[in-house]
Structure 1
């Protein structure tokens, strides 16, 4: 039945209804569709199924918490124990010393929070002109108000009656530090509140940072009183072979945005880790200001327990180290695809991710559909690029199967 009530996200609905693929079950790196087909999940769903599908221990942890308390909000003076415990753990493992944690319902929520907090910070600093939020071209930061406004993918900003829902935004070249800093200087650094960046661009085509870019961006920000916000929604919790990409790429951010791998998708949850530079004033003294922001389900007790169990699995099974190992396996597996006549470029080696950009006159969706027919689920992202982002529990053979299936699909086309 194609005429169902569900309105899919980011979808051309006539196409989606005609070609709907309904996922019914999952175990490890594999999925089962409603018609019984078994598919290797080459995308970890939407970049998040890091510990794989069907983890019974996570389901049991959620069940036990729900029997005790499904949740209670964390507004005002209220809290729940799982939220307190998870915030402490994230502050401990995150790439900011002495940070504070605000919990959200996901990545888009976390971007919204971080951008608002950056502007609030400069208002309290007595620098009200610092309102512009900067992002990189081809970047993706969710689709809430701020995520839509700072999107480096122009089509995500189109159709709302203005260039940007929130006007004080600017997009800089994604990997040219000289051009980026020149644009920032021309805009006026006195007007810039923060730079939001994905250490490795995800939805924008899987693009790693060129040497010197992130270091140059950090140096420029520090020299010009601009906050740095690391969007680690995709890269956080092991995707780059370290717990956070900021560690691998030696970046010291003012805020870190987290989601996806925080729970591996077993519950909707996000977080923002905030540096003492920003957070301390809100915690000290009777006259401390308030940050008037919050979400009904921020600090959701069951979601926080799910996150803890997920993080335990990542630590106990050495999945961060496994991700680092599989990054090299994936890079070797996809390298031969660069020689295929239907491949424009292969991008890998900056995380346990790869992007296979198909030549412009071949529809990437056709290749993805053929891969699914052959038993590997992938999809097309920006620039006609096939996304590869397997769960950390995938085997070397399964990683190699993804690459050979794409090669076979290209040959058939």
Structure 2
């Protein structure tokens, strides 16, 4: 079977009343930043927290009663696990999910909460996938592939149909790529319904096999590096999806970890939407000006998922605040006597900065006897305000050093 527009239409009919037709939200801040009208397809608000329910339900709902009785199995970097688990529960079908051992805790807990049996195996999606195929053969389960399956691709394509219906003025559609299922389905839909639309794929540069695969004319497996975009951390694209990408996708760009972090921050700060690294990849590419746009373009980027661990989200937001100059770390040497710290903090307050943390350092700094080292983490309005705080403390007599940003070795 080759996926056709009629297959996506069939999937739409099957998914009626099952999925949420997610909203398309105008992003005025991003519009101003990139110089073209920008909209966000908020698939992070979908049931299960990502787009994966669409393809999984379209596949599982078509199984025979005997296949449903035996159960389904899938391997996942996280979101497909929840999509399959939810789809299986809605179809009263047993689901076995194999996740990589480093899968985010939130995704493991959420998958179990849907009633699936979770097995942790392997250091990557590909290793989890290999083990799941062993179990499929051993127990005669039905395999629900995360991306390289016609029914799964057709299910994901319903997103593209919704974009065309809700935003017919779209001229550029930006979609994250892991194995290629979501971009294959969306590209098939929008290119058939709006032939002049450009479809741009986005990968995390730490694990980006698609451009190499397109050059080679076949799926190429690469050696990955860690990425915060775990939802698109796939070492090798699918056979089916690569063919569709080659035919229907205009360009594939890659984004760095720092750019992905900025994309997550943008969505939280400006659109009030919690997205994971994979979900923010399109926004990251737009903010980093990786995609060529004209002023009359209407851009829609798909926020494909919002299943991010709260601790990771907090660290990302804090790091971006530091890089944007909103947080600053200062080091000072002051007299070690009562009232000195209070006097310093009064000067900080006078400059309009907010103290987040304060540390006394004696032995670690080898501070001279009678003096103590002070480290302060301050919240300021922006980089300019940070410089004003620094100058104010120097003016009133303190010797201040500012800790560098982004000087860690990789």
TM-score bracket, shorter-length normalisation: 0.3 to 0.5
TM-score where L is the length of structure 1? 0.33
More helix by share: 2
**More contact order relative to length (CA 8 Å, sep ≥ 6):** 1
